[in-house]
Amino acid sequence: MNASFAPSPVEILRLLPEIILILAATVIMVGEALRGTREARPLGRIAVGGLIAALWASMSVWANPGFGFHDTVVLDGFSAFFRALVIVAGLLAVLMAQQYLRREGADSGEYYALILYSVAGQCIMVSGTELIVLFIGLEISSIATYVLAGYLRDDRRANEAAIKYFLLGSFATAFLLYGVAWIYGAAGTTNLIAVRRAMADPATTPSYALVATAAGLILVGLAFKVSAAPFQNWAPDVYQGAPAPASAFMSVGPKAAAFAMLLRIFVTAFEPVSQRWLPIVWISALATMIVGNFAALWQINIKRLLAYSSVAHAGYVLVAVVSNSPGGTAAVMFYMAAYALMNLGAFAVVTYFSREGERYLDIDDLAGLGARQPTTAALFSILLLSLIGVPLTGGFFAKFYVFKAALESNLLWLTVLGLLTSAVAAYYYLRILVIMYMREPAAATENLPPQPAGIRFVLWVAALGTLALGIYPSLILDFANRAAGVVR
Amino acid sequence: MNTLGIVLALPVLGSLALLLVPKDRTQAIRAATLAVSLLVFLASLGLVHSVVTNSAHAQFVTDVLWIASPAIRYHVAVDGLSLWLVILTTLLTPISVLISWHHIDKRVKEFHVLLLLLEFGLVGVFVAVDLFLFYVFWEVSLVPMYFLIGVWGHERRIYAAIKFFLYTMTGSVLMLAGIIYLYTLTGTFDYPRILSALEAGQVTLGDREEFWLFLAFLFAFAIKVPLFPLHTWLPDAHVEAPTAGSVMLASVMLKMGTYGLLRFCVTLFPTSSRENAWWIATLAIIGIIYGALVAMVQPNMKKLVAYSSVSHLGFVVLGIFSFTQMGMDGAVYQMLNHGISTGALFMLVGYLYERRHSLEIVDYGGVATPAPNLSAVFMITMLASIGLPSLNNFVGEFLVLQGTAQANFRWAAWAAVGVILSACYMLWLYQRTFFGHTPDPVRQHVVDLNRREWAAILPLLALMLWMGVGPHMFLPPISATNTTILDRSKAGAIYHVELKHPLPMRWGKASHER
């Protein structure tokens, strides 16, 4: 550890992506204040540039892993992976939104700045090794996303979404913070590694009651963030009310970061008491899969359907968490990458198709899309098949690795029940395919506007990426496997 | 790339090439698909010689690493069990193109792309040696069929398509759990390695472990077969599918289930297979009789043929779980026979539908007068399906019944009832459709076979006769593979099935010497 308080240049460099993101976001905020009545288009470009630079930075600083800032953050394979993931999610969400914001008459730099701040917060969430730092990262990310949810100021639904998200979110964060306080009371430290050491050391073993309470409180906070049952109720309302590109981002970035944080905290600090919290996560995983999949069956609004589907997918990821092994950690990483691609792609279709004021959100409105826009429909189909988990798509391997990890940890019932819920899930995704291809064209698919370049780019990247992961999963899995051991 | 590689790659390349053809050039699309599928068929004939001459070992092996960790191999090969099923698939694909020439007039391009992808998936299922790869092909073949039923089917197509997908998916996720579980025990997905690990005793399955694994696999395959009482998706899927879809579904897709039973279930879990043979055979017999009885009262021709499939596939399952050489040989032979004769029946019903636009039997009558050739062809096919000696089904049914009788005479006696019933419903169907008073719409609309329709049905007619009189040309490779399966299933297995004639008769050379 450094003797002096000031961080060394190497340590600062390890946080280069976060620094770039914050700087770019601040430039955009200032630019927004100065732009007056001019177009906001250049600000969007700054956001794209900032995110690409941050992505590049996160790749290049990876050459020099290690701790920083008095062991409060770490750059390891795990954090590098998730950092790149949330930055890419932010990038795609920005590209998706540019035309959307103009369409809705809400084009301003704030949207971009908020995405960048949120991504920066998530970057800290995935690399923090100290509970207060993790909490600060979570707050940066959350507060930015609360605002994003209510970004369309004059829209009643968006306002409702923002309020709901904010109130329930703050409540959950309070739980988390309270848990951190209990940890400090129990172990006398908030550093994850020190907590673990304190727990493993027989001389200083803190009371089980204290640790269990702390773990429970932290679990509640994080379960809310990943929309795990029984704390999933906010997700459908928020995803439905928020602007479509913001929902896309919220369903991927914060979720991935929260899962990274969950793994980091529970696998590092609470590993010695894993027999206590694993059963709870086991129940939550099963409940999340069941609630998400069965609730999605009845949805007629596509944003709500995708919201419940994202709840269900959180359940699958939790299965990997329960398996509590390096293989499980790698499965979480792979799942989140595949999930990010397919979900962002699906929301890109929604963003494009809903049109001004998000008028067309019924699933039935998609009728005839297969005939009217064969390419869009085909790419969307690939994403839907991947969400089902059909082989040769990323979604299949994601599920496969999750359940493989689960079986290797002898979670037989969870695997069988989880796989059966995935057969249930096939129904509601298939329904979208049915409507696109097998119904008579509806009025909503007439006169579709030309597809904006940003949407088209996101859609192609998502669909081709999904296929690539489905044919050659080693692209990501090898890295995930190598990185997964580091967390322990 | 060997011949098998070509057989697998051509349909995929063909479907990709079709994507580039403008969608309004429908004739070009049809012709191109026909050409590609004929090429695939010719290529697949190249597999015959070396498998037949050397049927003890798998031929045309390609074994390369696909995914490093966990090790998943692209391991494909052909042996006596898969050879004819592959050729059946590649033969029926060009025939499906032919019978869809006028029948399919909307979204022609998508239809043919999906048909080629379906061929790829189906061939893949029969040649995959790696369990994981098998699962991939198994699921991949599901998607094109789902669209074929759902987009080009009849009125209740959407319901039928979803039901088909969900049934299969439910079964197959449990199989996936079983496959992964086997992996966690043996550390590999490669089927020969799993088998040798089990045989060498490096890995031992506990009794309950083996039973549950057996059940997971059985469930997936039984849904696909379909075994009573899991058959309810089949009549819906068959009735609503377009003709080509019904043909591929009945002739090839159902065989995925019986193939899986023989290749994986019986071989991997010999003890459980034998211990549970009694109730599986009972279900098969119920399916034989129940399917035949329900077929008899169907007012809809396609539904009648669909229920007759439930009945016929019961014979296949019964043959497999008789655990005799003859029964198993007959089961495989019956898989091919059913593919040919039921495929032909669906085609002929499709021909009638294209003319009269109805599948209800009451709308027909006296078709023999305006369409004598169609009637004659239908009669041959029907007789084959009933199991008339000198036509193909007779050989298969005879072997199955003989083998079953060796294992348990009562099973054979009950199953034989199904043979009689099949004559009842088929002859009755024929009488009501082709003889008697000719209603006016039939007189006006029903014309005789045209050249395209002849071209599509002739190969199948020829095969019915050929396989009926020359089983010795088809059976030896099947027998050879079944002998290995049977030997393997005996190894370490407890004999619960009493063998009345412990020396199973061998086909091929052995039987000539006798």
* A403/B183 CB distance under 8 A: no
How far is the C-alpha of A368 from the C-alpha of A365, rounded, in Å?
8
How far is the C-alpha of A376 from the C-alpha of B454, rounded, in Å?
40
User: How many other CB atoms are found less than 10 A from the CB of residue A280?
Assistant: 16
What local confidence, expressed as pLDDT, does residue B514 receive?
35
The mean pLDDT of chain B is 85
Q: CA angle, corner B450, sides to B449 and B453, nearest 5?
A: 75
- Residues of chain B positioned with their CB less than 8 A from the CB of A390: 139-140, 142-143
* DSSP string computed for A188-234: S--BHHHHHHHHH-TTTPPPHHHHHHHHHHHHHHHHHHTT-TTS-TH
The pLDDT tens digits for A379-426 are 999 999 999 988 889 999 999 999 999 988 888 889 989 988 988 888
**Which tops the pLDDT comparison, A307 or B155?**
A307
Interface subset of B 128-167, CB within 8 angstroms of A: 135-136, 139-140, 142-143, 146-147, 150-151, 157-158, 161-162, 165-166
**B244 min Cα distance to partner chain A (Å):** 18
Q: Does B209 touch chain A (CB under 8 A)?
A: no
**B177 min Cα distance to partner chain A (Å):** 7
**B140 min Cα distance to partner chain A (Å):** 6
* B143/A420 CB distance under 8 A: no
Q: Which of A416, A417, A428, A469 to mutate to test the interface with B (most CBs of B within 10 A)?
A: A416
What local confidence, expressed as pLDDT, does residue A487 receive?
59
- Residues of chain B positioned with their CB less than 8 A from the CB of A396: 139
Q: Does B170 touch chain A (CB under 8 A)?
A: yes
What local confidence, expressed as pLDDT, does residue B513 receive?
37
* A391/B166 CB distance under 8 A: no
**A128 min Cα distance to partner chain B (Å):** 29
The pLDDT tens digits for A247-264 are 999 999 999 999 999 998
What local confidence, expressed as pLDDT, does residue A4 receive?
64
Residue in chain B nearest A435 by alpha carbon: B158
What local confidence, expressed as pLDDT, does residue A137 receive?
93
Q: Does B448 touch chain A (CB under 8 A)?
A: no
What length does chain A have?
488
* A426/B136 CB distance under 8 A: no
- Residues of chain B positioned with their CB less than 8 A from the CB of A385: 143
Q: Does B180 touch chain A (CB under 8 A)?
A: yes
* Closest residue by Cα to residue B329 from B55, B5, B54: B55
What local confidence, expressed as pLDDT, does residue A465 receive?
94
Give the domain ranges of chain B. 276-514
Counting residues of chain B whose pLDDT is more than 90, the rounded percentage is 13
The answer to whether A191 touches A72, Cβ cutoff 8 Å, is yes
How far is the C-alpha of A375 from the C-alpha of B3, rounded, in Å?
34
B234 φ, ψ (degrees, to nearest 5): -70, -50
Count of CB pairs separated by less than 8 Å, A with B: 79
Residues of A with CB under 8 A from a CB of B: 371, 385, 390-392, 396, 400, 403-404, 407-408, 412, 415-416, 419-420, 422-423, 426-427, 430-431, 433-434, 437-438, 472-474, 477-478, 481
The pLDDT tens digits for A462-478 are 999 999 998 888 888 88
- Residues of chain A positioned with their CB less than 8 A from the CB of B184: 404, 407-408
**B209 min Cα distance to partner chain A (Å):** 11
What local confidence, expressed as pLDDT, does residue B210 receive?
86
Q: Residue A470: in which H helix or E strand, if any?
A: helix A453-471
Long-range CB pairs of B58-67 (<8 Å, 24+ gap) are: B58/B129, B60/B2, B60/B3, B60/B4, B60/B5, B61/B129, B62/B1, B62/B2, B62/B4, B62/B5, B63/B129, B66/B133, B67/A472, B67/A473, B67/A474, B67/A477
**pLDDT of B492 strictly over 90:** no
The pLDDT tens digits for B429-475 are 888 888 888 888 777 888 888 888 888 888 999 989 898 888 888 88
User: How many other CB atoms are found less than 10 A from the CB of residue B496?
Assistant: 13
* A472/B67 CB distance under 8 A: yes
